[in-house]
Structure 1
């Protein structure tokens, strides 16, 4: 009997291994296919300009909205956008995409910054080759990128801290889920949140974990966090999928007494706010980020100079805001 279970177990392991190999090969093929579709940049008028947009994760709702804004602006300007990104968050694949994109010689590149020396060196290589790079969502400040377009993430973290202090009802022991430890935007949001919380007596961040930009992982990290820190009274998610994952994790450990705060305007977040599972969210404007990045590139390619940073706004989404949005014509 034990031999039978051992055989079944080994078969299961082999199947799981084959699944991950398939996912890896599929992702690699898609990357190569996307890059091969790219045509080298050409000198000429604006209609010839070819821009690559490299997302953190291909089908993440935030990045698809950035893509939408970029494509709409590019269509107005007669520019071409090639959109690509890892199937699942993978900084190594982002680096590979950047390297292959540079080899294809586009007119410009839009990408998320990563706090990694090899990635920053590739951005510098692009600059050396005359390919301007604009970072979006997260910056790569140590590189020679042309400009950053997106949220002022430190200020967004402070705004989240202010929201928590005002809305948490004195529930001052805080657990935090961040999207990625390698993303500059997440570290800046956490830094801003910490600075605001530190200025208010009775509030304390007692634990921080990473979701790896995964709703399922956010749920698992929340479960583990609540097991280890039963005194937590408030949970904060600093990337778009975290709040929904936190809600799932809290339900798994039967904790309905926790206030939850999230980031970004996703359907899952709106649903959580409407049902009372999520108190509020700090909302970015990814469509504006994509559109503004393309418009700025157009200006630069015409010979105009750019500033180093262009910050987009954030808003607060709560139950009151949902109600007014539904009632407005």
Structure 2
């Protein structure tokens, strides 16, 4: 009997102790939450919420765009919500654009890949008072206020002129584009074709789509070489196209084939240095991201902006790497480190 009494007393004491401990921790947590709420209340929030919708989150090119936008975010004290599909997907971009409009954000920066899909939504945003800036790919027939990015038609012409100069006007060419449904790819292809059309020794024999995939580009290059074994040059209109072509050409031991590619990714520059790629069209994605935020804030603050801001585009070759090739944008940021 005495033993049971002791057990009961110990149980009661344990329960009382647990209750006190629970109360103590509850008060501590509550106090911490109140402190955090106080800190949040005293922390000034960014004045504006912007959304930047990219083509693909995991692509190195778009990571440079994001880096530029995030640096601008710090400089201008705004919140830039950088978003996009994990892999290139226009339907997902459209869904994200619809979400940004529904959230009534202060401004939208978007890559506009397709007239039919993007124009109605861009117009809808403007009608609802949300300014829109297009980036990388323009939609000039929409209500968008400004465009920041490459002159894609000119970049295609630069690629064509590089090929003419390097091959002395003699080539049988296959073109691989990531998507012929995308406006900027159409422009890059057309620019190239216009550049070479008056060269009687240059013939474009086929154009294929890679679906923005290195594997897709490799498979299409293999198919093209089997169908047109006399091809002597490839033009890849996006970063992964050139890399895919190199894979196939290397596997087939076709070192005689000339390759002009897009974008200065680390791997692309390495292949240029090794002589596996002959020329690269260099863009300025970091500056696109940075300046798009500044342009949007000018619009929000009622300042007049230009309809189009073209970032610079150039051709680089292996000798440029030996000279420590780099791009420095208007804000002193080095986009491509010296090789």
TM value normalised by structure 2: 0.81
Distance 1:258 1:295, change over 3 A: same
Tell whether the 8 Å contact from 1:265 to 1:317 is kept in structure 2 after alignment.
no
Please state how far the C-alpha of 1:170 moved relative to its aligned partner.
4.5
How do residues 170-319 of structure 1 correspond to structure 2 at under 5 angstroms? Answer: 170-319=169-318
After the TM superposition, which of the residue ranges 179-188 and 230-239 deviates more from structure 2?
179-188
Deviations 1:37-96 (A, max 9, x none): xxxxxxxx9931111011111111111111111111121000101111111111111111
Please state how far the C-alpha of 1:308 moved relative to its aligned partner.
1.3
Deviating above 2 A after TM superposition, structure 1's stretches of 4 or more consecutive aligned residues are 168-171, 251-254, 326-329
Tell whether the 8 Å contact from 1:171 to 1:234 is kept in structure 2 after alignment.
no
For 1:144 and 1:298, the matched residues in 2 are separated by: 17
Tell whether the 8 Å contact from 2:169 to 2:199 is kept in structure 1 after alignment.
no
For 1:243 and 1:148, the matched residues in 2 are separated by: 26
For 2:187 and 2:89, the matched residues in 1 are separated by: 20
The higher radius of gyration belongs to 2
For 1:124 and 1:249, the matched residues in 2 are separated by: 43
For 2:316 and 2:47, the matched residues in 1 are separated by: 40
For 1:63 and 1:326, the matched residues in 2 are separated by: 21
Tell whether the 8 Å contact from 2:214 to 2:240 is kept in structure 1 after alignment.
yes
After the TM superposition, which of the residue ranges 169-178 and 181-190 deviates more from structure 2?
169-178
Describe the SS at the equivalent of 2:309.
strand
Please state how far the C-alpha of 1:326 moved relative to its aligned partner.
7.4
Please state how far the C-alpha of 1:128 moved relative to its aligned partner.
0.6
Please state how far the C-alpha of 1:168 moved relative to its aligned partner.
2.2
Tell whether the 8 Å contact from 1:114 to 1:120 is kept in structure 2 after alignment.
no
Please state how far the C-alpha of 1:169 moved relative to its aligned partner.
4.4
| Number of the residue aligned with 1:105 | 104
For 1:134 and 1:183, the matched residues in 2 are separated by: 18
Tell whether the 8 Å contact from 2:113 to 2:182 is kept in structure 1 after alignment.
yes
Distance 1:46 1:321, change over 3 A: farther
Please state how far the C-alpha of 1:206 moved relative to its aligned partner.
0.8
Distance 1:46 1:288, change over 3 A: farther
| Number of the residue aligned with 1:162 | 161
Deviations 1:142-200 (A, max 9, x none): 21111111011111111111000001245411111112112211111111101010021
| Number of the residue aligned with 2:78 | 79
Deviations 1:74-127 (A, max 9, x none): 210001011111111111111111111111111001111122423211111100
Length, aligned pairs only: 285
Deviations 1:216-252 (A, max 9, x none): 1111110011111111100111111111110001123
Please state how far the C-alpha of 1:280 moved relative to its aligned partner.
1.1
For 1:158 and 1:92, the matched residues in 2 are separated by: 30
Distance 1:74 1:153, change over 3 A: same
Describe the SS at the equivalent of 1:48.
coil
Distance 1:326 1:97, change over 3 A: closer
For 1:243 and 1:109, the matched residues in 2 are separated by: 31
| Number of the residue aligned with 2:137 | 138
For 1:309 and 1:318, the matched residues in 2 are separated by: 28
For 2:74 and 2:314, the matched residues in 1 are separated by: 28
Distance 1:46 1:295, change over 3 A: farther
After the TM superposition, which of the residue ranges 288-297 and 249-258 deviates more from structure 2?
249-258
Describe the SS at the equivalent of 2:173.
strand
